[in-house]
Amino acid sequence: MNPPRNGFGPLPLLAIVLPGRALQMSAPGRRPCRGLVMGRSSRGLRRALVTLTALPTLAANLLGPAAAGPHPADPGRGRGPGLFAGAAGAFVYCFHCTEEAAPFIAIWYTLGIAVVNGPRGAFGAAPCCAGKRLFTIQGANSASEIRLETPPHAQIHHTQVPHFGRACLGALLALVFSISLGHAAPPLP
C-alpha cells in the first residue's frame, strides 16, 4: 500500500511556515534575518547532527524488516521508516540545540529529516530492504507469503515484532549516541 498523496506537494508545510515567518519578521525588535535562519550557535557540520542522530533509529529498523515491510520494488514505502527515524533523531537533537527561531527549525530540522528520508523514502527503505534480505525466506515476495511459509515458532521474527519495541530501542540508541555527541562537541558559547 502506498502512502497517501495529498496532491498539494510541500504546500501544507509552506502554509504553516510562511505565516509564522511573516509574524516573526514583523515583530518589533526583530533580529536580523540571517541570524534567524542560520542560527547563532550552529557552525558548519553541526547542523548535520540531526542526520547523524537519526542513524541509530534508522538502523533499528533492521530488527523488524518484514514487519516494517517496504518491498524493494516499492521504495516509496520507506517514507514511514525514514520519516520516523529522521524525526526521532531530530527529537533527541532538540535537547542539545539552543536555537529556538522558527525559520531555523523549519529549515534545518526539516532538511535533516528529509535527508534521512531520501528521495521517495529511498533511504528509509534501504535498511528495511537490507534487513529483509537478511531475515526473510528466499523467494517470498510479501509479508503474507512470508507468514504462510514460515513455521509458527519462527513467525514472530518476521511479522509480529512490535514496532513500538524497535522505536524504543532506536530512541535509546539515539539518546546514547546524542549524549556521546554532546560530550564530544559541547554547545558553542
**Chain residues that interact with other proteins, rule: CB under 8 A:** 1, 3, 67-70, 77, 79-88, 90-91, 94, 97, 99-102, 105, 109, 113, 143-144, 147-148, 159-160, 163, 167
Residue whose CB is less far from other proteins, 89 or 180: 89
Q: Residues of 44-68 as b/e, b for ≥16 C-beta within 10 angstroms?
A: eebbebbbbbbbbbbbbbbbbbbbb
Question: CB burial class (10 A; 0-12, 13-18, 19+) of residue 34?
Answer: exposed
Nearest residue (CB) to other proteins, 109 versus 177: 109
Cell of 113: 529529516
Minimum CB separation of residue 43 from other proteins in Å reads 19
For the bound state, the minimum distance from the C-beta of residue 106 to other proteins, rounded and expressed in Å, comes to 8
Phi and psi at residue 77, to the nearest 5°: -75, -5
Q: Is 132 exposed, middle or buried (0-12, 13-18, 19+ CB in 10 A)?
A: buried
Smallest gap from residue 116 Cβ to other proteins (A): 10
CB of 25 to other proteins, least distance (A): 16
